[in-house]
Structure 1
Amino acid sequence: MPALVKGRLPWRRMGPGIRHLPLIGRQADGTSARLLAVDPRTPLPEHGHGGNEYTIVLQGGFADETGTYTQGDVAELDENVTHRPVVGNEPCLCLVVTGAPLRFTQALPRLLQPLFGL
């Protein structure tokens, strides 16, 4: 877990090497926000979007089908994009805001989705 996220905040494990801290739960309009902390070289589940997804890289970086993003970069994706982000060689911390629930391509993430409010 990135050094920035150690402490007493209520981080929730989402899978091996992936933790999140919900900031704004799913709103009536579908919007939610969370911090996402991911260990080095960890792939996130492949997913698409029901609306826009904005990811601001606070520490580290990741790459996906749309490009490579490092500290300070913003990835703006819409419902036409399906991707599988993979974290680089150092821990990654991002602020992620979504305008609608994610659309996972694999069965297990779809089953777990309600537990995490994604």
Structure 2
Amino acid sequence: MASTSVDQIIAAFGGWRGDTLSRIRGLILEAEPDVVEETKWHKPSNPLGVATWSLGGLICTGETYKDKVKFTFPKGSVLPDPKGLLAVGAGVRRAIDIREGDTLDADAFRALIRAAVALNAAPKSLKK
């Protein structure tokens, strides 16, 4: 379900960054219509917070920067990623940096979202 707080982030950035966040948000909602969308981690330097998507646990976050929009998957290193979308990260986290003019394989991204939800729903013994 779309969140008005994420709408505010999209509106605040506008331009290619707002468009990118909006487009990827649409892919997330297509992949998992029951996802919980909200903002977290509000602070003086980022009063609007960070867009987050969860279902049975955190799936990913979306953040805007001057030169990119970053989607971080907290369990990205254990997700199947045959197209190599999750190229940025350290430890278990992996992220996708989208810069102005970049294209993203929508089918591969939706598959990552579904895999993250499946991992959240898996028994703890399978989450490694």
Q: TM-score, normalised by structure 1?
A: 0.34
Q: Say which structure, 1 or 2, has more relative contact order (CA 8 Å, 6+ apart).
A: 1
User: Which has the higher Rg, Structure 1 or Structure 2?
Assistant: 2
Q: TM-score, normalised by structure 2?
A: 0.32
The structure with the greater share of residues assigned to strand is 1
